[in-house]
Each structure stands twice: as structure tokens, then as C-alpha cells.
A and B are shown apart, each in its own frame.
Chain A
Amino acid sequence: MARSLVERTLASVTHTLEQTLFAEDIARQPGVLQSLDPRVKLVSVLALLLAVSFARNLWVIAGLYLLVLSLAWVSRVPLGFFVRHVWVALPFFTGLVALPVLFNVVTPGAPVLTLWSNPLIAITAQGLRAAAFLILRVGTSVSLAILLVLVTPWNTLLRALSVLRVPSVFLLILGMTYRYIYLLLKTASDMFEARQSRVVGRLQPAAQRHLVTNTMGVLMSKSYGLSQDVYLAMLSRGYRGRPRTLDRFTMQPRDWLWGAAALSVAVVALWLGRG
């Protein structure tokens, strides 16, 4: 029951749309992290990511992962979804990649489990630890990044980037891009659906490829045309090359408190993990 290519593309487009809608839903829940200033969340996540990245001790990374899980829990992120989303989607492949690392062929070291003695094929202690480092580090880093976006509405997170001195013109482009991704996804999805409704049987790979690249070509032409229209619309509304935003974030005492706590955890983790 191999699905056609068009159906698969349609499914992945729909999946992306659903995924972000779900994320926005969580970001509106009255959880702990949702109530914090987005800049505090962004800087804290960066500090914790650095701590995960620098750690030379597996227990420190594991501890940071538990911290991420408990933060997700107090922020009403469904834990089953959160864990599955992170570990199944991305590091599943990391896990497969890490498999050959276990063996002495790739990672020489002290054999723990000998599978074959001549020539020697064994799982080494170094290999086990290397695989554990890779999987834990990737999983924890991805969890941190996903948690940030789950508890922060995207436009708020976008504006929080200004705290990292991202130029305002980039923020403007980022916001527009995010908006137009949905429009283009919708357009692409409509084009595939229109085509799908006219297809009987299966297309040969060459014909499928033709279909896909032509769709991309149309989409590119539309993008370019649309960019001209958007430019005129911006001009007519008084755009002069200098983006302006309305909102000002204000730091509450609890924001400072949470920020300080996150930074201290990161510093302690850096110190413990230096080994």
C-alpha cells in the first residue's frame, strides 16, 4: 500500500501545519514557562544548551535532561508527546548512526562484550560511552530547543531575538517569512491536490519528478511575483526601509529570578561537567 509521492508530500505539508498549530495551543496554556518574559527564556535556553554542549560527564547531561522534563511538566506540555516527539523524530537516526560506534572497529578501547574473537569484534567501553554521549547530548539539546518553542508563541519569540542583537531588518524578514511559509504551503498543497484529483493510476518516476519540479517552478514564480506585490503594499503603507515594532517587553521581578536561577544551573552544570 505504497502511497503515491503526491500523497506523501501532501501528508508532510499537513503534518507541518498541524504541528505548529498544536505548538501554539500549548504556548497559550497557563503554565510556568509561558508566563515568563521571552527574552529570559531565550537566554536561559542558550545558557543551558552551552552547558549541555561543554559537559564531559554523562551524569551532568542526564541531570539537565531531567531538568528539561520537569520544566516541561510544570508548563503543561504533555510529557508523552514531548518525549516521543524528540526521541522518535530526530535522534532515532542519531541512534542508528551511533550503532557502529559501539564496536572496536570504529572506537578502539577496552572490550566489554566480545562477539567474535578472530578477527576481534567487540563492543568497547569507549564505544558505549561515545554512543551515550552522542545520543544524550543530541536528545537533550533538541528537547531544550523544542521546549522553548512549545511554551512561547512564535511572534513573541521572534521579537525576543532582538535581545541577541539580531538586526531589526532580519526580524522583519523572519516574521514575513513565517507568515508566507503558510501561504506557500497552502498553495503547494492546493496544487498537489488539484493534480492528485486528475491522476488515475501511478505515474512513472520521471513523470512524478517532472510534476514535482514544475510545481516548484510555479511556486518560485509565484513567490517572486508576490514579493513585488508585497513591496508595493509596504510602500503604500509608508515603509521607508526602517522597520518599527510596537511592543515593549517589561521584566518582572520573577523574570529576573527565573533568569538568575537558570544561569546559576548552567554555571553549576558547566563546573560539574568540566571533568
Chain B
Amino acid sequence: MLLSLLPLPTTMSVGANMHIPDGYFGPLFSIALWIIALPWLGLATRQLSRQLNQRMVPLVALFAAFSFVIMMFNVPLIGGTTGHAIGASIAAIVIGPAGAAVAVAIALLIQALFFGDGGILAYGANILLMALIMPYTAAFIYRALGGNTLISDRRRLVASFAAGWASLSLIAGLAGIMFGLQPILFHAADGTPLYAPFPLQVAVPAMLIPHMLVASVIEGLVTAGILAYLQRGNPELLEVSLKPGVASRLESARLRPLWIGLAALVVLSPVGLLAAGTAWGEWAAEEIADVVGYTPQGLAATQTWSAPLPDYAVHGLNANLGYIVSAGLGIGLTLVVIWVIASLLARRSAAQKS
């Protein structure tokens, strides 16, 4: 972890060793991440046991052992640089994101408990990033890019590389944001940071850039390499995750244009930094006073609520970065809320059917 902050001598092993040890996060922050991660992991487990019944136990156990073992392999990149893969993306592609989530969570628990690799209090953060966000993102990208092509199609290689590269880069960026939030949230009276000490504008690029250039490339190469082997050597294995979820795949295909549109909006959102002035209709009380000449009484009465991130700015941050962080948090929160509502609705309609 944070290994990627170091200057890299060419023979050094660098890596996707993202395991966050205890001591980098404030305890309340760690607990909050537990509270997000555990219900998600519980839902994944329930979905998996519905699909597989008693087959779940041996399948998850073997894939957990597999992810543990491949995290130890040295993968060569260029000029003697080697690194480790996490393997969550290939597991998500082969047995589906729910199976990969539970398997990687188990592998991480064994690493934290028995090998001291990754913290115990930080286990919530580690499973949220590596066991949940990573496989779900990887599976989504692989399915979106792979489309309905044949199992042996070369497009699936590109899709799997993209899935590995993007999912690890995403969680590296998120980890950077988490590190960067620590000095803002937890510091002594004289400003001494008590946990991870780097401010956001250092932590985010320090995590993101080396991962995008090295570790994520390794993850992508490993994902595509294993996929290429399976396409030749064991194509049946690549059809495993498709069987139970045919219906849901059709549904997600119908929603795909919406997801693409949403992704485009996300990418375009930094354009907001260039635009001058305020969005029409979103005037603050002072701006109305400027335009109209007075503050309407009713509006003045509503100005009592103060947002946690006023004007989308994060305290102690450069304004543009703060805007981007706020945008990321906002998108994340919105997706979580929508997803919770959607799964509640889906459960109700399933209950009505049966």
C-alpha cells in the first residue's frame, strides 16, 4: 500500500498491494466504511447463495484460495519491473461480481488475520475497495464492452483489459481520496495530522498516477492474459457466470444507453469548472439580492440549512479539486441511493410474482 508513492527502481516489485494497514484512517472513518461495506457484502452473499445453494461454499472457498495465491505471483511489466495483481477483476468476469466479492473478502480476511497484511480495523475499507467496488466495476465494464460477442471473440480481450485497468485505477483514486480526507477530518489543535498525513492534492495523484501507469496495467494484463488462456484452454469456464443471469443480462442491455449517457455526463462534469456564473434558477439569497434588489422574505427564512459541502467546496482544499471530489461523492451517493431503492422495488415485485 502507498508503495506506489516511492520512486521506482527498475528491478523493484511494485504493486497493486493496495492493502491498507491500520493506522492510516481515523477509527470513526474506519467504522463508517464497515457500515457501508458489510450490508453490501451481505447482499452479495445472499444473491450468491440463491443462485448456487449448497454449491456456494466450495466454489467461494476455492476462488478465495485462488485469489490469495495469485496475489503472490510476480508479473513482469517492462525493464525488470514486476508487480502483483489483485485478481478481483478476472474472478468477477468468471464467476460474477457477487461470487468474486465474497471470495476476495474471504482472501482479504485471511491476509489481515493470519499474515498481518492489511489492517483489522481497516478491513472494512479494504473489502469496500478491493472486494466490492472493484469486482462490480470490472464486471460492469467487461459486460458493457464485451457485449453479446462469442466467448472466443477478441473484443473480450480488450474488454477484460479495460475491466482490470479501470477497476483498479478507480479504487486507487478512491483510496487516494480516503487518505486525503484524513488530515482534513482528524488533526490535533496545532494542525498535526493524526493519521494518513497527506492532503488531498498530494494523496489523490500519488495513488492514482502510479497505479494508472503500472499496477493497473499489470491488473489489466493479468485479466486479459487469463481470459486469453481460458478462451483457448477452458471456454466452458467463461460461460459459468452467464448461465444464471441471462434475464438480468437482457435487462442491463436495455439500460445500457442510460449508463453510457450517465458516464458521458460524469466525464463532462468538469466543464462546470469553466462555466462562469451560477446555474439559472440556483441563485443564492445574495445573488437574488444583486439581481432583484432585495431578498424575498420567504427565501431569507429558508437560508438556515447549511450543506455539509457548501458551494461544493471541501474545506482545506483547492477549489477545483474540491469540486471534483464533491462531484465524485455526489455521484457515488446518488448511485447508492438509487441502487438501494431499485433493489427494494425488485424484491417487492419478486415477492408479488411468487
The chain A residues found within 8 Å of chain B, CB to CB, are 2, 5, 8-9, 12-13, 16, 19-20, 23, 45-46, 49-50, 52-54, 56, 86, 89-91, 93-94, 96-98, 101, 106-109, 125-127, 129-131, 133-134, 137-142, 145-146, 148-149, 154, 157, 169-170, 172-174, 176-178, 180-181, 183-185, 188, 205, 208-210, 212-221, 223-224, 226-228, 230-231, 234-235, 239-241, 243
Q: How far is the CA of A200 from the CA of B126 in the complex (A)?
A: 41
Cβ contacts B89-123/A at 8 Å (1 or 0 each): 01000100000001000110110111111011100
CB distance from A45 to the nearest CB of B (A): 8
Whether A177 pairs with B65 at a CB distance below 8 angstroms is yes
Q: How far is the CA of A212 from the CA of B70 in the complex (A)?
A: 10
Whether B190 pairs with A109 at a CB distance below 8 angstroms is yes
Cβ contacts B205-244/A at 8 Å (1 or 0 each): 0000000000000000110111011100110010010000
Query: Provided the pairs A214-B225, A241-B54 are in contact, do residues A145 and B113 lie with their beta carbons within 8 angstroms?
Result: yes
Whether A101 pairs with B106 at a CB distance below 8 angstroms is no
B27 within 8 A of A: yes
Whether B22 pairs with A52 at a CB distance below 8 angstroms is yes
Contact of B225 among A19, A52, A106, A216 (CB under 8 A): A216
Whether B59 pairs with A227 at a CB distance below 8 angstroms is yes
Whether B63 pairs with A223 at a CB distance below 8 angstroms is yes
Whether B109 pairs with A174 at a CB distance below 8 angstroms is yes
Whether A176 pairs with B54 at a CB distance below 8 angstroms is no
Who on chain A is nearest to B240 by CB?
A224
Who on chain A is nearest to B80 by CB?
A2
* 11 pairs, A vs B, C-beta closer than 8 Å: A12-B74, A97-B2, A101-B198, A133-B192, A145-B22, A173-B61, A212-B222, A220-B230, A226-B58, A226-B62, A231-B58
Q: How far is the CA of A212 from the CA of B49 in the complex (A)?
A: 32
Q: How far is the CA of A140 from the CA of B94 in the complex (A)?
A: 39
Whether A217 pairs with B106 at a CB distance below 8 angstroms is no
B140 within 8 A of A: no
Who on chain B is nearest to A205 by CB?
B76
Whether A219 pairs with B70 at a CB distance below 8 angstroms is yes
CB distance from B351 to the nearest CB of A (A): 22
Whether A146 pairs with B120 at a CB distance below 8 angstroms is no
Chain B at the A interface: SS class:
helix
Q: How far is the CA of A235 from the CA of B53 in the complex (A)?
A: 12
Q: How far is the CA of A142 from the CA of B23 in the complex (A)?
A: 9
Chain A residues positioned under 8 Å from B188 (CB to CB): 56, 129
Chain B residues positioned under 8 Å from A5 (CB to CB): 74, 76, 82
Whether A212 pairs with B74 at a CB distance below 8 angstroms is yes
Query: Provided the pairs A50-B121, A220-B230 are in contact, do residues A210 and B225 lie with their beta carbons within 8 angstroms?
Result: yes
B195 within 8 A of A: yes
Whether A213 pairs with B112 at a CB distance below 8 angstroms is no
The chain B residues found within 8 Å of chain A, CB to CB, are 1-3, 5-6, 11, 13, 21-24, 26-27, 30, 49, 53-66, 68-70, 72-80, 82, 87, 90, 94, 102, 106-107, 109-110, 112-117, 119-121, 188, 190-199, 202, 221-222, 224-226, 228-230, 233-234, 237, 240
Whether B54 pairs with A234 at a CB distance below 8 angstroms is yes
Chain A at the B interface: SS class:
helix
Whether A141 pairs with B121 at a CB distance below 8 angstroms is yes
CB distance from A236 to the nearest CB of B (A): 12
Whether B226 pairs with A216 at a CB distance below 8 angstroms is yes
Q: How far is the CA of A184 from the CA of B70 in the complex (A)?
A: 10
Q: How far is the CA of A149 from the CA of B116 in the complex (A)?
A: 9
Chain A residues positioned under 8 Å from B59 (CB to CB): 224, 227, 231
Contact of A146 among B3, B26, B61, B116 (CB under 8 A): B116
Query: Provided the pairs A109-B191, A134-B195 are in contact, do residues A184 and B66 lie with their beta carbons within 8 angstroms?
Result: yes
Most buried by B among A145, A185, A210: A145
Who on chain B is nearest to A53 by CB?
B27
CB distance from B145 to the nearest CB of A (A): 19
Chain A residues positioned under 8 Å from B27 (CB to CB): 50, 53-54
CB distance from A9 to the nearest CB of B (A): 5
Whether B73 pairs with A145 at a CB distance below 8 angstroms is no
Most buried by A among B26, B77, B106, B199: B106
Chain B residues positioned under 8 Å from A126 (CB to CB): 190-193
Whether A130 pairs with B21 at a CB distance below 8 angstroms is no
Chain A residues positioned under 8 Å from B65 (CB to CB): 176-178, 180-181, 183-184, 223
